[in-house]
Amino acid sequence: MEEKRRSFLKKAAVVGAVSAVGTVAATAATKSSTYSSNGVVVGHSDKKEILYKKTEAWDEYYRTAL
Over residues 8-41, the pLDDT tens digits come to 778 888 877 767 666 666 666 555 545 566 777 7
CA distance 58 to 64: 10
Compute the distance between CA of residue 14 and CA of residue 17 in angstroms, rounded to an integer: 5
Q: What is the pTM (predicted TM-score) of this model?
A: 0.30
Contacts of 42 (CB under 8 A, 6+ apart): 35
Q: What pLDDT shows up at residue 55?
A: 92
Tell me what pLDDT residue 21 has.
Answer: 63
pLDDT in tens, 44-54: 888 888 888 88
